[in-house]
Amino acid sequence: INADGQSGAPFGHTTRTLAFDRLGRLYISVGSNANVDPDSFRSRIRRFSLTPELFPVDFLTGEVFADGLRNEVGLAFDRYGVLWGVENGADRLEREDLGGFITDDNPAEEMHRFPEEIAGSHFGYPYCWTEFLLPEEFGMGRGTVWAWPSFLADGTVTDEDCRNNYLRSEIAMQAHSAPLGITFYNWKNTTEMPVECEGGAFPRLLDGFAFIAFHGSWNRAIPTGYKVVYVVMDENGRASGQPVDLLAHAGSGSRWGDGFRPVDVDFDACGRLLVSSDGTSGSGSKIVRIEYHGEFADSNQKPQSPSAPSPVATTSPETTDTPSTLPTEGLTAAPIPPVASTAPPTPALSCFSSCLILALCTAFLKIK
């Protein structure tokens, strides 16, 4: 139960993201209760220093580590021990002075960085929102911060207040993509891989990069998201440039035919990326494993600049709508009991520069 006594939210913000830092402190992110709340009381990341004798813990005693975050579902620490998050923005945005109904491309989804030195800072929600793409005659550029219509109308904040009094995001991303998971690749962890690993680790040139799962939109005129992207990180641990598609549907539109919707991402002990999906159909609920078998495999060379490799992998629309791989015999489907059999589809792969091989590790059927 949240500190406000409400255990759910009408728009589905019912989960609580948890993360521990190197000191064993617990971070808890809670999403908004509505599309736009009257304040940020619920939409914060709280930090707790836990010891057994303190249980149970009063939620209100938690330190407000970061404030003004509408729905920071994905949390992850980078190699420097800095916490990052990805935020799901609001819906139904309309401002007549900026073009009217501008919600298809605004507000931006956001990627945030939370270094210790700014602990307790406010990132603007619910009073402010971030521009992704406005009509040319009104927009001031991606990442520009504006006041939410209702708070602008009642005099709570102005656009200038939002730009001067609240922190901005690290990256502004396509509206309604619904980023739910984030992780960072640590190449060093793969240098002593378990004996059972048979290759497939991501190369060193991707060391430190962020990987994000976009669950996909639900009310945008043209659906967006439904993919996995990566963000190039520089040597100082800062984001460099916009997200680049890693795994995306190659057919018509962004939605997968089997309901595949990425939820979270993480690297296994062998340096391969695992992607979970809670698809809208039984066949869309699975875990996909992404392996690397390209020219940079086992390379110790870092790129000369933080420029990323070419967009990596999609499936071929002519043969299948399901993330899959070559060779065919490498695919297996293992439904969770009660037993329900599914036949794996004929696999296909479209790679740029022979970079990645996608391997469907195990398909899990959702139990209703």
Q: Per mean pLDDT, which of 69-78, 189-198, 310-319 is the most reliable?
A: 69-78
Q: Where are the domains of the chain?
A: 16-292
Topology of the domain covering 16-292: Neuraminidase (2.120.10)
Give one DSSP letter per residue of 56-74, joined into a string: SPPGGGSEEEEE--S-EEE
Q: How far is CA 257 from CA 264, 280, 317, 336, 340, in A?
A: 20, 10, 10, 22, 20
- Tens digits of residue pLDDT in 141-159: 999 999 999 999 999 999 9
Peptide linkage before 327 cis (omega within 30 of 0): yes
Could you tell me the pTM of the whole model?
0.81
User: Where does the pLDDT of residue 9 fall: very low under 50, low under 70, confident under 90, or very high at 90 and above?
Assistant: low
pLDDT at 282: 63
What is d(CA 187, CA 170) in angstroms, rounded to the nearest whole number?
A: 23
Residues 366/340, Cβ–Cβ less than 8 Å:
no
**Is the model's pLDDT at 313 over the cut of 70?**
no
Average pLDDT estimate for 206-212: 96
Report the range of poorest mean pLDDT among 108-122, 281-295, 352-366: 352-366
State residue 108's pLDDT score. Answer: 98
CA distances 207 to 131, 186, 218, 315, 368, Å, are 30, 6, 33, 25, 38
Cα 105–Cα 8–Cα 25 angle in degrees, nearest 5: 90
